[in-house]
Amino acid sequence: MSDELPVAFKTLRTTRWHMTREIEELSVEQMLVIPEGREDNIIWNVGHLLCSLSRLTYVFSGFPLPIPEEYLGIYGKGTSAAAWEGTPDVDKTLELFNGMPDRIEADYKAGRFQVYKPLSLGPNTIESVEEAVAFHCFHEGLHIGMIITLKELLGLPTRG
Amino acid sequence: MIDKSLYKTVRATRGYMAQQVADLSEEQLLQVPDGLRNNILWHVGHVVQSEAGIVYGRSGLDVPLPNHYTALYKGGTSPADWTETPDIPDVMEHLKTQTGTIYNEYKDGKFEGYGGFEMVPKYTLDTIEEAFAFNIFHESIHVGMVMTMRKLIGAAKG
């Protein structure tokens, strides 16, 4: 049991505050546009982070994937919005994305993340759920950067 | 004390940025892609300037960078306002060495005077450790921009 959250969890909140600020006023159409010269759109970046965070926390701690399995085929590593055959449920993706930090914090406080299956990412190895959350802040920042660039390419105002 | 896992991510983030820019030519570093405001060099200078500004500045210490870094790279600045090309090897050197230097100084207690501040309404960086963690995320935003910019200038990296 832990009431005191590690630093990385607070950083996840700050990271998410920045992300929300960039996407909250966008329409579904704006999230689906793929700019010239790119293969992704804004919702792909969001869904991709949802998949990655879900796997890094729950799956590598021995729990089932806490989001629909089909999301991995839409947003998972190596997928591309340019290859989608249909349009994903944007609202549902956003709802799950927005709710995930609360869910993870609640499960962390309840002491559910005890074991972690180490995950090698190039030269870096993630060895605990705390480290997974710290890594996710980096990963989410990368995609916030990509979203800001996508918005600039679409002529949308950025908050950056 | 900063935990090992956090510092590992700090170092990995900086390594990622260094890796994204190491093989680019001066021309590629300076090119501003159509529709964007900055070039890749600006992002390199910005992560260096920003980290120093928070870590040293908020600890009441002199920022160990040339004074003109603020005018060149602070948030909101743009290469469109540069009057001459910045010293590229100098900024690349800071990119490479800054994280290690700061970590050693941190272990020696240099940042004990860190005062904390409200970065945006509601979000504060209360401790130096929180500032380090914030920097992971801030820096990676700029890595993400650089990754996209590489594609836009025809220099995509896997």
Domain ranges (residues) in chain B: 4-152
Q: What is the pLDDT of residue A1?
A: 42
Q: Crossing angle for the helix pair B40-55 and B128-152, nearest 10 degrees?
A: 180
d(CA A113, CA A134): 15
**Which residue from B minimizes the CA distance to A13?**
B123
Contacts of A148 in chain B (CB under 8 A): 141, 144-145
**Shortest Cα–Cα distance, A127 to chain B (Å):** 8
Contacts of A142 in chain B (CB under 8 A): 140-141, 143-144, 147
pLDDT at B158 (0 to 100): 61
CA-nearest of A37, A100, A49, A121 to A79 is A49
Higher-confidence residue of B3 and A94: namely: A94
B13 CB neighbours in chain A (<8 A) are 138
- Residue in A with minimal Cα distance to B36: A152
Q: How near does any CA of chain B get to the CA of A121, in Å?
A: 10
Task: Please state the rounded mean pLDDT for residues B2-29.
Answer: 89
Please tell me the predicted confidence (pLDDT) of residue A81. 97
Q: Mind listing the pLDDT tens digit for each residue in A86-139?
A: 999 999 999 999 999 999 999 999 999 999 999 998 777 899 999 999 999 999
Contact B143 A145 (CB under 8 A): yes
Give A2's pLDDT tier (boundaries 50, 70, 90).
very low
Per the DSSP assignment, residues forming a β-bridge with A63 are none
Percentage with pLDDT > 70 across chain B: 96
Mean pLDDT of B109-126: 88
Say how many C-beta atoms besides its own lie within 10 A of residue B101's C-beta. 13
**Amino acid in the structure at residue A1:** M
Query: CA-to-CA distance for A12 and A97, rounded, in angstroms?
Result: 13
Tell me which residue in A6, A131, A149 faces B148 most closely, judged by beta carbons: A149
Question: Kind of pairing, strands A124-126 and B117-120?
Answer: unpaired
Instruction: Give the residues across from B124 on adjacent strands.
Output: B118
Nearest Cα residue in chain A from B43: A145
In this predicted structure, the answer to whether residue A150 has a pLDDT above a threshold of 70 is: yes
Strand partners, B123: B120
CB A42 within 8 A of CB A23: yes
Instruction: Say how many CB pairs under 8 Å bridge A and B.
Output: 113
Q: Does residue B7 come out as left (phi exceeding 0), alpha (psi in the -120 to 50 range) or beta?
A: alpha
Beta bridge partners of residue B125, listed in sequence order: B117
Looking at the domain that runs over B4-152, which CATH code has it been given? Answer: 1.20.120.450
pLDDT on residue A115: 95
**How far is it, in rounded angstroms, from Cα B141 to Cα B136?**
9
Residue B108 predicted with pLDDT over 70: yes
pLDDT in tens, A20-42: 999 999 999 999 999 988 889 99
Please name which of B157, B158, B154 lies closest in space to residue B28, comparing C-alpha atoms. Answer: B154
Contacts with B15 from chain A: Cβ below 8 Å: 123
What are the chain A neighbours of B150 within 8 Å (beta carbons)? none
Instruction: Give B124 to chain A, closest Cα distance, Å.
Output: 9
b (16+ CB within 10 A) / e for A35-60: beebebbbbbbbbbbbbbbbbbbbeb
Quick one: B108 exposed, middle or buried, by C-beta within 10 A (0-12, 13-18, 19+)?
exposed
Residue A58 has pLDDT above 60, yes or no: yes
Amino acid, res. A63 = F
Task: State how far the Cα of B136 lies from the Cα of B14, in Å rounded to an integer.
Answer: 8
Task: Give Cα B126 to chain centroid, integer Å.
Answer: 20
**C-alpha span between B140 and B158 (Å, rounded):** 17
Percentage with pLDDT > 70 across chain A: 98
Give the pLDDT score at A3: 58
Q: Is the pLDDT of residue B66 over 60?
A: yes
The answer to whether A124 contacts B136, with C-beta atoms less than 8 Å apart, is no
Query: Testing the interface with B: which of A2, A5, A7, A41 to mutate, by most B Cβ within 10 A?
Result: A7
Evaluated on CA atoms A150, A144, A135, A129, the torsion sign reads: negative
Please give the backbone phi and psi of residue B118, each rounded to the nearest 5 degrees, phi first.
-90, 115
Please state, in angstroms and rounded to a whole number, the distance separating the CA atoms of residues A29 and A75.
17
**Taking Cα atoms as reference points, which of B12, B11, B18 lies closest to residue B91?**
B18
B144/A7 touch (CB, cutoff 8 Å), yes or no? no
Helix A129-153 vs helix B128-152: crossing angle, to nearest 10: 40
Collapsing DSSP to helix, strand or coil, B123 comes out as strand
Which of B17, B124, B141 would you mutate first to test chain A, the one with the most A CBs within 10 A? Answer: B141
Mean pLDDT (chain B) is 92
pLDDT per residue as tens digits for the range B27-62: 999 999 988 999 999 999 999 999 999 999 999 999
What domains are defined for chain A?
A: 7-153 (1.20.120.450)
Q: Where are the alpha helices (DSSP H) in chain A?
A: 7-23, 28-32, 42-57, 71-75, 90-109, 129-153
